[in-house]
Amino acid sequence: MMRFLTAGESHGLSLTVIVEGMPADILLSADDIDRDLLRRQIGYGRGKRMEIERDQVQITAGVRWGRTLGSPISLVVANKDWVNWQTTMSAAEADADESRVVRAPRPGRRHRVF
C-alpha cells in the first residue's frame, strides 16, 4: 500500500512530499515527476497562476542512481514566488504582522491517490 504525506502552504517556501510503500528498484527520475508537474502549465489546474508557475521537483531521499531504494521517498518543490511572500508566510515570530494574517484556509481540491 502506498501513502502520500504532503506539507506546505500556498505561497510558502516549498511543498514537501513523502511517499511510502514504493518498492525498491523502480526507475524514477526528477524528469519523470516534472513531466506530470508540467500538466499544470497546459491547463490541468484551477487557475491562470498554473500557467506561469514552472515547478520542478528535487528528490532528496529514497532514490539512488535513478532507482528507488524501497525506503520512503522525499520530494521537494520550491516556490519561486517565495521572495514575494517570505515575511507574510514566515515561520519566524519576529516577522509577525497582524495586518497580514491568513485567517481562513484556501479551499482546494481533494487529492487523488494513485
Length of the chain: 114
Within-domain flag for 19: yes
In a domain, 67, yes or no: yes
Residue 105 lies in a domain: no
Is 21 contained in some domain? Answer: yes
Which cell numbers hold the place of 75?
Answer: 520530494
Secondary structure letter of residue 13 according to DSSP: S
pLDDT one digit per residue (tens) for the chain, 114 residues: 999 999 988 778 899 999 999 999 999 999 999 998 887 766 655 555 555 667 899 999 999 999 999 999 999 999 887 787 777 777 888 878 777 666 666 555 554 454
Q: Which of 71, 87, 95, 54 is closest to 19 using CA atoms?
A: 71
> Is position 104 within any domain?
no
Residue 104, classified by CB atoms within 10 Å of its CB into exposed (0-12), middle (13-18) or buried (19+), is exposed
The confidence score (pLDDT) of residue 5 equals 95
Domain of residue 82 covers 3-88
How far, in Å, CA of 8 to CA of 16, rounded?
6
Residue 60 lies in a domain: yes
**How far is 98 from 81, CA to CA, in rounded Å?**
22
Q: Is residue 98 part of a domain?
A: no
User: What type of residue is 25?
Assistant: D
Whether residue 26 is contained in a domain is answered as yes
Number of domains in the chain: 1
